[in-house]
Amino acid sequence: MSVPLLDLRAQHATIRDEVVAAMMKTVDSQLFILGAPVEALEREVAELSHTKFAVGCASGTDALLLALRALDCGAGDEVITTPFTFFATAGTIHNVGAKPVFVDIDPKTFNILPGAAAAARTSRSKACVPVDLFGQMAPIEDVIKALPGLPVIEDAAQSIGARRSIDGEWRMAGELATIGTFSFFPSKNLGGYGDGGMMVTQDEALAARLKRLRMHGGAKQYFHDEVGFNSRLDALQAVVLSAKLPHLAGWSAKRRANAAYYNKAFAGVSGLTTPFIDPANESIFNQYTIRAEKRDALQAYLKERGIGTSIYYPLPLHLQPCFAYLGYKAGSCPESERAAGEVLSLPIYPELTNSQLDEVIENVRAFYGV
Ligand SMILES: Cc1ncc(COP(=O)(O)O)c(C=O)c1O
């Protein structure tokens, strides 16, 4: 039996009628750019995230780029982040002209260490970008406390709907940051039928600036307060996402149930470490990422047996050739480097059947001789 890492067709089959009807309504309207469908989705995502404002844009990458620009990050500024993340987190810092400053991760959660972020702060620090990796929120309250007065952009591309209990209250991904950013890339828990992204904030002036920046920097057509971008969410994506949004909580709960099933089956398998979820967090498990001894051999073994896996991420960003100019060396962020050599993401998507889950489990256990 083959088990792909992700099967988007299985999900589409369950919602096809409602999504296609919504898309056809938009096609018939011939209104494709921003408009009522995008505004509706912005309201829905703001509500989900417990934020006052949400602004749609063309991708999760652009959400970071616009957020950095809205906080005036540019030449001469430093932005603190981690190197164990998708490239966009640091690529956008570079692309606004600022310098990425990489600090190491907590080896248990793969998320930023607030103390390391504080130690990296200088007079040039302009912002910090903690990443909510694999569906689990970074310790956002500790990051904010460790960096008094520094704006925080929470890269929640992988974590829409994730939450964290802080002082006895559930706080949503994006809620406490200066700006939170989401991606609607198809493989995300809330994935569009193409690219899309969104920024959330509690700050009205920042929301207004983000709206301007996504439309060439002008609040009024053909009048430009500053130079912005063309980065809009289109109406077709918005109606797909609004149709999918009511399912998100159920899909993420199914991912958690799949994770719990794996955790139980892998308990005691020596050579393998199951994901650690901070007890304060409720993860949405965008990925189920183990640490594995003989990781590459395990991946090859599973591939031969039709089981899809992926390595997120094989080379931490501080060691990427494009960032050689920053001067980091092997050993600069040891936990990120160790993680890159050990991690393997297994299929976790909500439509997995019990027999598919068992197939993955049996093969992983067989690899380790149990
Ligand atoms: C952590 C992180 N940041 C940013 C992005 C960029 O999102 P997008 O692919 O929508 O541009 C992604 C998505 O792949 C991501 O995983």
Atom of ligand 1 nearest to the CA of 64: 4
Q: Please compute the mean of the pLDDT values over residues 74-87 and round it to a whole number.
A: 98
Atom of ligand 1 nearest to the CA of 132: 1
**pLDDT tens, position by position, 281-301:** 999 999 999 999 999 999 999
- What pLDDT score was predicted for residue 90? 98
User: Atom 8 of ligand 1 has which residue's CA nearest to it?
Assistant: 60
Confidence band for 328, pLDDT divided at 50, 70 and 90: very high
Q: Please compute the mean of the pLDDT values over residues 331-359 and round it to a whole number.
A: 98
What does pLDDT average to over the chain?
98
- What pLDDT score was predicted for residue 211? 97
Whole-number Å distance, alpha carbon 63 to ligand 1 midpoint, is 9
- What pLDDT score was predicted for residue 288? 99
Q: Ligand 1: which residues within 6 Å by Cβ?
A: 59-61, 85-86, 88-89, 131, 155, 157-158, 183, 185, 195, 197
Token reading at 270 = 């020596």
Confidence band for 103, pLDDT divided at 50, 70 and 90: very high
User: Atom 10 of ligand 1 has which residue's CA nearest to it?
Assistant: 60
Q: Please compute the mean of the pLDDT values over residues 242-253 and round it to a whole number.
A: 98
Atom of ligand 1 nearest to the CA of 196: 10
Q: Please compute the mean of the pLDDT values over residues 226-246 and round it to a whole number.
A: 97
- What pLDDT score was predicted for residue 236? 98
- What pLDDT score was predicted for residue 360? 98
Token reading at 323 = 């960032």
Atom of ligand 1 nearest to the CA of 187: 14
Q: Edge-to-edge strands of the sheet including 163-166? A: 169-172, 163-166, 281-282
Whole-number Å distance, alpha carbon 89 to ligand 1 midpoint, is 7
- What pLDDT score was predicted for residue 266? 98
Whole-number Å distance, alpha carbon 223 to ligand 1 midpoint, is 31
Whole-number Å distance, alpha carbon 178 to ligand 1 midpoint, is 18
**pLDDT tens, position by position, 37-80:** 999 999 999 999 999 999 999 999 999 999 999 999 999 999 99
Whole-number Å distance, alpha carbon 88 to ligand 1 midpoint, is 6
**pLDDT tens, position by position, 136-194:** 999 999 999 999 999 999 999 999 999 999 999 999 999 999 999 999 999 999 999 99
Whole-number Å distance, alpha carbon 341 to ligand 1 midpoint, is 21
